[in-house]
């Protein structure tokens, strides 16, 4: 059952390129976590009509300034978490926790936290630093052009 949920969660990342870029609020007060049972949007085909093409051809995710150095910023609509482990070094991962599918949270504390059961992931490579999750967040390719971060 875990494998099925995980496969479903990973397949959800395929929709990242066509998701509508609505940015999640950043900050410690935002505890929006997706209920794994409520993530049925992966079951219905999404239309790419709402995407916002950027100059680089990808879909706009966020501004570089949205991503704190030593922290992460969740783009909930795209289910992507952007990180900036060191100044100017941006990385992106699936925001779907590999434990039971909650969305991870924006943070400034040096790791990517999952609010559901306390898993934490590395800003550098998405690997779990604290359980119960034991698998890394999958990497997502992005393009950083000035202050604009888009899907690759």
In the complex, which residues of this chain contact ligand FES (CB under 6 A)? 97, 99-102, 114, 116-119, 132-133
Residue nearer to ligand FES on the CB measure, 2 or 52? 2
| Dist. CA 128–CA 104, nearest whole Å | 12
Closest distance of CB 101 from ligand FES, Å: 6
Residue nearer to ligand FES on the CB measure, 79 or 99? 99
Residue count (the chain): 152
Closest distance of CB 143 from ligand FES, Å: 28
Closest distance of CB 1 from ligand FES, Å: 14
> Half-sphere exposure of residue 4, counting CA atoms within 13 Å on the CB side?
2
Closest distance of CB 104 from ligand FES, Å: 7
| Dist. CA 129–CA 97, nearest whole Å | 13
Residue 37 CB partners (closer than 8 Å, separation 6+): none
Q: Do residues 120 and 102 lie in contact, with contact meaning Cβ atoms separated by under 8 Å?
A: no
Residue nearer to ligand FES on the CB measure, 57 or 131? 131
């Amino acid at each position: 059952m875990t494998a099925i949920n995980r496969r479903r969660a990973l397949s959800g990342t395929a929709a990242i390129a066509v998701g509508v870029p609505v940015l999640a609020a950043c900050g410690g007060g935002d505890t929006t976590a997706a209920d794994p049972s409520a993530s049925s949007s992966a079951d219905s085909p999404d239309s790419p009509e709402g995407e916002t093409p950027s100059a680089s051809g990808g879909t706009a995710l966020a501004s570089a300034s949205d991503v704190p150095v030593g922290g992460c910023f969740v783009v909930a609509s795209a289910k992507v978490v952007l990180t900036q482990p060191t100044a100017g070094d941006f990385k992106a991962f699936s925001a779907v926790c590999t434990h039971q599918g909650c969305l991870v949270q924006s943070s400034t504390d040096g790791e990517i936290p999952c609010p559901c059961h306390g898993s934490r992931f590395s800003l550098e490579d998405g690997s779990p630093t604290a359980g119960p999750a034991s698998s890394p967040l999958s990497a997502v390719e992005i393009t950083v052009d000035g202050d604009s971060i888009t899907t690759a």
